[in-house]
Amino acid sequence: MKVKERHPLYQGLANIVGAGHVTDDDFACWATIGGIGIEVPPESQLVGPPDIVVRPQSTEQVSRVMKLAQRTSTPVTVAGAKSGIGGGHMPSEGGILLDMLDMDKVLDIDEDSMVVWTQAGCTWSKMLTELERKGLTTGFLGPCGNLSAAVGGGIALNSFGVNTPKYGHTGECVASLEVVLPTGEVIRTGTRSNQNANFTYRYLQGPDMAGLFIGGSGVFGVVTEAAFRIYDIPKYIEFTGFAFKSIEAALEAMYRMQRRRYVIDGMMLVGETVKMMVPQADPETIALLAVAFDDNDERIVKIQKEVCDEIALQCGGQDCGPEIAQLVVSNKWGLATTMSMSYGNAMECVVPTSTMNALRGRVKACLEHAAAHAPDLARVPHTDMPSNQCFALVSQQAMVLVGYLGNFTPWDKKLRQKCYQIDRDFQYWRIKELGDCVYWIGHRGTEAVVASWHPAYHEFLKKLKRTVDPNLILNRGILGLT
Ligand SMILES: Cc1cc2nc3c(=O)[nH]c(=O)nc-3n(C[C@H](O)[C@H](O)[C@H](O)COP(=O)(O)OP(=O)(O)OC[C@H]3O[C@@H](n4cnc5c(N)ncnc54)[C@H](O)[C@@H]3O)c2cc1C
């Protein structure tokens, strides 16, 4: 049997991270590019396995790996927990996979600046558990895969998720970042760019450079450490749930509640999902709005709930009681993902909007489009039920996720291909006709976001990329910058 030759950088990388943290074994390389299965079309030539995988243990090692890669013009792809739906952790041209998961320490819980410093490979779950021991929280509790997703991935994708309505996306929670630039230099953002600062804050000291790396899909640098703002864990939580006979009425209620900024988290279910979740609801029910409020003062929570109950009633809502709301909100991500993914796979679309009002019309438009373009796919398996589902987070930066299910199995390549085509068309239709935006950008989403950009904006990003990454080695193929 012919023995595979070592990768030319194997020894150099082993000298940096130690032989136990580098491998070029085929099995290990292929194993890193697993995902949830919807990142890239089947038979796609867009991605493939890395040639070599490295697991750095420190910022200094990341810096040395990047310097070696620059010197040798070797492509590098950064990966966290590899759950990003855009598939950005998958290399487009082999090279080095920089797997950050060994850098998983919670470094400091700083109650003076009220931030937690953590390494980028730390999972949300680990960070939150350590904070909980001190009665603290980041407020925003990470994206759907929060138990296993790494905070670095959340920053690179600017993930949204649990408690986004009150605390925003990952980006809003960031106080400072430590980043290794593609050339190997290490920088810290915000007050920490002051070499003498002993407190951590996002702004001051010039431009907000954390923003370059938040949502940047890892193309501008490797996040090695992050500081997130922290708060006391609220002691009290209340839920409220209302059924509506029209999507518009539910959206109006959502909009008015969010103007008050009381809601910590919430979800709006539409269509068949409601019937599955609340069989006892009035048969005319089209939308279910479930929201939660929390605070450390019980009186404040109760008042917030009372005010929002009044709003829902004024908008024609029917009170369904707190239990159903608790079920929906607490299982928000479980529900969403079960509905949208475990039936085969979903083509989801996220419609970020800057104002709640901009939601009007879009929810219906998306549902109608899905029903018209994927009628044969949009069925819950083994039933006659149309599976068009839509859920909206009650958020100032509202997100509408329209999932129309493509019930394809991984081995049915033809159907899978068809689902991708519909998904792609849907994305283009949304950015063109609805003026919507693209989320979960990796290899998936790049084409659509580039098509949507003003050319001058794209050129500006390209200039930035060339400045920080002269050999264009980091996260090639993403955002159309290489
Ligand atoms: C079932 C399911 C449901 C999901 N629901 C949600 C959801 O509700 N909301 C949501 O926002 N996301 C959701 N996601 C997507 C995903 O879980 C999150 O976006 C998560 O933040 C990705 O983290 P990760 O560690 O897996 O990143 P990865 O997938 O490993 O990486 C994602 C991107 O970030 C880059 N990257 C990773 N680490 C770094 C770093 N240290 N420095 C620079 N770049 C880096 C990678 O190159 C890649 O481009 C879901 C995923 C699944 C599987």
Nearest CA to ligand 1 atom 5: 144
Tell which one of 55, 78, 92, 170 to mutate to probe ligand 1, the residue whose CB is within 8 A of the most ligand atoms: 78
Burial 115-132 (b: 16+ CB within 10 A, else e): bbbbbbbbbbebbbebbe
Question: Alpha helices of 244-384 — where are they, by DSSP H?
Answer: 247-260, 272-277, 298-314, 322-330, 332-341, 362-373
Q: Is 144 in the pocket of ligand 1 (CB under 6 A)?
A: yes
Mutate to test the pocket of ligand 1, among 77, 127, 157, 181 (most ligand atoms within 8 A of CB): 157
Domain coordinates of the chain in residue numbers?
A: 105-232, 236-434
The finding on whether 128 has its CB within 6 A of some atom of ligand 1 is no
| Strand ranges for 189-317 from DSSP E | 222-229, 231-232, 236-244, 265-271, 287-295
CATH topology of domain 236-434: Vanillyl-alcohol Oxidase; Chain A, domain 3 (3.40.462)
Q: How far is the CA of 365 from the centre of ligand 1 (A)?
A: 28
Q: Is 236-434 the same fold as 105-232? A: no
Topology adopted by domain 105-232 = 3.30.465
Token pair listed for 127: 């960070």
Compute the C-alpha angle 140/186/123, nearest 5°.
30
| Residue 107 and residue 121 in contact, taking contact as beta carbons nearer than 8 Å | no
Pocket mutation for ligand 1, best pick of 39, 63, 77, 85 (most atoms within 8 Å of C-beta): 85
Q: Which amino acid is at 325?
A: A
pTM: 0.93
- How far is ligand 1, taken at its centre, from the CA of residue 157, in Å? 6
Q: φ and ψ at 137, to 5 degrees?
A: -150, 160
State the closest ligand 1 atom to the C-alpha of 83, by its place in the atom list counted from 1.
26
CA of 129 to the centre of ligand 1 (A): 20
Q: Using the 8-state DSSP alphabet, how is residue 234 labeled?
A: P
Identify which of 63, 99, 125, 144 to mutate to test ligand 1's pocket (most ligand atoms within 8 A of the CB).
Answer: 144
Q: Whose CA is nearest to atom 16 of ligand 1?
A: 84
Ligand 1 contacts CB of residue 427 (under 6 A): no
Q: Give pLDDT tens digits along the chain (482 positions).
A: 677 789 999 999 999 999 999 999 999 999 998 776 667 776 778 899 999 999 999 999 999 999 999 999 999 999 999 988 889 999 999 999 999 999 999 999 999 999 999 999 999 999 999 999 999 999 999 886 667 899 999 999 999 888 888 888 899 999 999 999 999 999 999 999 999 999 999 999 999 999 999 999 999 999 999 999 999 999 999 999 999 998 889 888 988 888 888 988 888 877 666 776 677 778 888 888 889 999 999 999 999 999 999 999 999 999 998 988 888 777 665 555 554 443 334 445 455 444 556 666 777 777 677 667 766 655 544 445 444 455 565 554 556 665 555 555 556 777 777 777 777 887 888 888 888 788 778 998 899 999 999 999 999 999 999 999 999 999 999 999 99
Best CA proximity match to 173, nearest among 181, 162, 184, 182: 162
